[in-house]
């Protein structure tokens, strides 16, 4: 049993949002095997009610508030210091002091941070400390994608963040024993950007809880019996999701509805932006806002869509729709990192109206076989237990070269300390 310092940029409980799904499953996996000291931020006031759940499974917890306005003001200091704005956004002297106290009071064996934004809190390395960074995605590349899709002056700000954050990501990887990414594609991309750290970079994929996302456990349908629901899920205050919802509703769905009058587009997700909320005024479009349980909305849909134009890593919304046995139409960006049979287990379509419309209508005409094949794929290859076994080997100090499931030779872990 190891003493682990786990640093996470957003409270990893409950698993109701993209990054929280991964951090939640990592935390549960670690606490079942080790003593975990959790340092994290709370950016949603509703999440404070889950603090007792965290304290019940962790050896100690430091949860710090992260009010958005205060974080924005701190981030502006990055323009003066020359650092990426991400770092001052998450800077907190109380959390830094707690980390120092934990490291002095406990024989910490492993310091693991989730996302590069928590890198500054990782303590300096004594000979016995294993430093692990779960980058998840290449955040700097995400900012570069934002820059290509946003107007000036945001374009200039996001391009600056992409450059400065990449420099920090390279520094963090070089000073760590192991760097994890959510897919082999993401790991390979980072190796090309940071060749000096290539030997310590490896992939640990996301999984999906196929017992929870089970099509036999859906309950009643939220839809009318005479409609053909097309659903997009996700946090709707996250720009790539909001952009996808607006693009599909405005550019693709009217043509889908012209060909299939019973089709209706449902945007299901928390905190819709004003632009997303306004989609409810369009014919055939419903914006639900927060729902207690996303499973009936996905599992009873005729088709799930993920028409993201900006995406990094593995999309949980895709895995969840597959687990629920629904046909899904996704852009290539949304399928990045997944090993699936196109046209058999999922439909891939560029975020262009004609391509997306054709793919959605094909699934509306008969996608049940595709949904069943998708379910079989995730049960076979995308369980959390399977992927988190790699983390166990890394923490045990195993160094090996393996051929991973996707057929790429990867370094499974760095040298154990």
192 and 225 together in one domain: no
- pLDDT of 127 reads 75
**Residue range of the domain that includes 397:** 3-207+383-411
CB-count burial class (<10 Å; 0-12, 13-18, 19+) for 216: exposed
Collapse the DSSP code of 124 into the 3-class scheme (helix H, G, I; strand E, B; otherwise coil) and give the result.
coil
377 and 265 together in one domain: yes
Q: Is residue 79 part of a domain?
A: yes
Q: What is the mean pLDDT of residues 13-19?
A: 89
Instruction: Check whether 329 has a pLDDT greater than 80.
Output: yes
Q: What share of the chain is helix, strand, coil (3-state, %, to 5)?
A: 45, 20, 35
Strand residues in 66-217 grouped as ranges (E): 110-114, 130-136, 178-181, 201-203
Instruction: Check whether 326 has a pLDDT greater than 80.
Output: yes
pLDDT above 70 covers a percentage of the chain that reads: 95
How many CB atoms sit inside 10 A of residue 12's CB?
Answer: 24
Instruction: Check whether 406 has a pLDDT greater than 70.
Output: no
**Cα–Cα distance, 51 to 257 (Å, whole number):** 45
End-to-end CA distance of the chain: 15
Instruction: Check whether 405 has a pLDDT greater than 70.
Output: no
DSSP 45-60: GGGGGGHHHHHHHSSE
Residue 144 DSSP one-character state:
H
Domain tally, the chain: 2
Q: Where are the alpha helices (DSSP H) in 194-350?
A: 239-247, 253-259, 274-277, 295-299, 316-323
348 and 394 together in one domain: no
The tens digit of pLDDT for each residue in 43-88 reads 999 999 999 999 999 999 999 999 999 999 999 999 999 999 999 9
Q: Is residue 295 part of a domain?
A: yes
332 contacts: CB under 8 Å, gap ≥ 6: 348, 350
Q: What is the mean pLDDT of residues 284-303?
A: 97
Q: Is residue 155 part of a domain?
A: yes
Instruction: Check whether 189 has a pLDDT greater than 90.
Output: yes
Q: Is residue 31 part of a domain?
A: yes
105 and 147 together in one domain: yes
195 and 228 together in one domain: no
44 and 132 together in one domain: yes
| CATH code for the domain of 17 | 3.40.50.2000
Q: Is residue 416 part of a domain?
A: no
Contact 139, 90 (CB under 8 A): no
258 and 335 together in one domain: yes
283 and 402 together in one domain: no
The tens digit of pLDDT for each residue in 220-278 reads 999 999 999 999 999 999 999 999 999 999 999 999 999 999 999 999 999 999 999 99
Instruction: Check whether 404 has a pLDDT greater than 60.
Output: no
Task: Kindly calculate the radius of gyration of the chain based on its CA atoms and give it in whole angstroms.
Answer: 21
| Token duo for residue 87 | 């770092």
Q: What is the mean pLDDT of residues 343-354?
A: 96
pLDDT tier at 367, thresholds 50, 70, 90 = low
- pLDDT of 417 reads 28
Q: Is residue 46 part of a domain?
A: yes
407 and 374 together in one domain: no
- pLDDT of 311 reads 87
Q: Is residue 44 part of a domain?
A: yes
Instruction: Check whether 399 has a pLDDT greater than 60.
Output: no
196 and 77 together in one domain: yes
266 and 314 together in one domain: yes
- Looking at the DSSP bridge assignments, the partners of residue 130 are 110
Residue 407, Ramachandran bin (φ over 0: left; ψ between -120 and 50: alpha; else beta): left
**Cα–Cα distance, 244 to 305 (Å, whole number):** 10
Mean pLDDT estimate for the chain: 92
173 and 45 together in one domain: yes
- pLDDT of 312 reads 81
Q: Which run of H or E residues covers position 389?
A: helix 384-395
Q: What is the mean pLDDT of residues 277-293?
A: 97
| Token duo for residue 216 | 């036999």
Instruction: Check whether 400 has a pLDDT greater than 60.
Output: no
Q: Is residue 417 part of a domain?
A: no
Buried-state track 253-286, b at ≥16 Cβ within 10 A, e below 16: bbbbbeebeebbbbbbbbebbeebeebeeeebbb
């Amino acid at each position: 049993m190891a003493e682990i310092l786990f640093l996470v940029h957003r409270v990893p409980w409950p698993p109701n949002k993209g990054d929280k799904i991964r951090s939640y499953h990592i935390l549960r996996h670690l606490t079942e095997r080790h003593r975990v000291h959790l340092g994290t931020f709370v950016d949603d006031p509703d999440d404070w009610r889950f603090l007792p759940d965290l304290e019940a499974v962790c050896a100690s917890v430091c949860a710090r508030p992260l009010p958005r306005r205060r974080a924005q003001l701190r981030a502006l200091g990055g323009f003066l210091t020359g650092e990426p704005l991400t770092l001052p956004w998450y800077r907190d002297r109380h959390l830094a002091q707690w980390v120092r106290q934990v490291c002095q009071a406990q024989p910490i064996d492993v310091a693991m941070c989730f996302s590069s934004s928590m890198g500054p809190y990782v303590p300096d390395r004594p000979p016995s400390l294993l430093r692990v960074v779960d980058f998840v995605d290449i955040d700097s590349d995400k900012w570069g994608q934002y820059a290509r899709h946003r107007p000036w002056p945001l374009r200039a700000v996001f391009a600056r963040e992409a450059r400065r954050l990449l420099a920090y990501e390279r520094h963090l990887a070089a000073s760590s024993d192991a760097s994890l990414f959510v897919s082999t594609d993401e790991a390979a991309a980072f190796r090309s950007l940071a060749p000096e750290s290539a030997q310590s970079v490896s992939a640990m994929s996301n999984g999906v809880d196929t017992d929870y996302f089970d099509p036999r456990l859906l309950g009643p349908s939220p839809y009318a019996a005479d409609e053909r629901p097309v659903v997009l899920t996700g946090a709707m205050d996250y720009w790539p999701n909001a952009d996808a919802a607006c693009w599909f509703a405005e550019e693709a769905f009217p043509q889908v509805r012209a060909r299939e009058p019973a089709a209706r587009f449902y945007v299901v997700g928390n905190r819709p932006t004003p632009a997303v909320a306004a989609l409810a005024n369009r014919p055939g479009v419903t914006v639900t806002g927060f729902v207690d349980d996303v499973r009936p909305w996905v599992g009873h849909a005729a088709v799930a869509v993920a028409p993201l134009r900006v995406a990094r890593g593995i999309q949980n919304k895709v895995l969840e729709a597959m687990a629920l046995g629904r046909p899904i139409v996704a852009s290539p960006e949304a399928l990045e990192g997944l090993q699936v049979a196109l046209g058999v287990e999922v439909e891939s379509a560029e975020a262009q109206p004609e391509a997306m419309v054709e793919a959605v209508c094909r699934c509306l005409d008969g996608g049940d076989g595709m949904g069943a094949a998708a379910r079989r794929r995730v049960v076979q290859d995308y369980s959390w237990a399977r992927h988190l076994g790699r983390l166990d080997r890394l923490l045990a100090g195993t160094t090996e070269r393996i051929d991973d499931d996707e057929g790429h030779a990867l370094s499974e872990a760095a040298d154990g300390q």
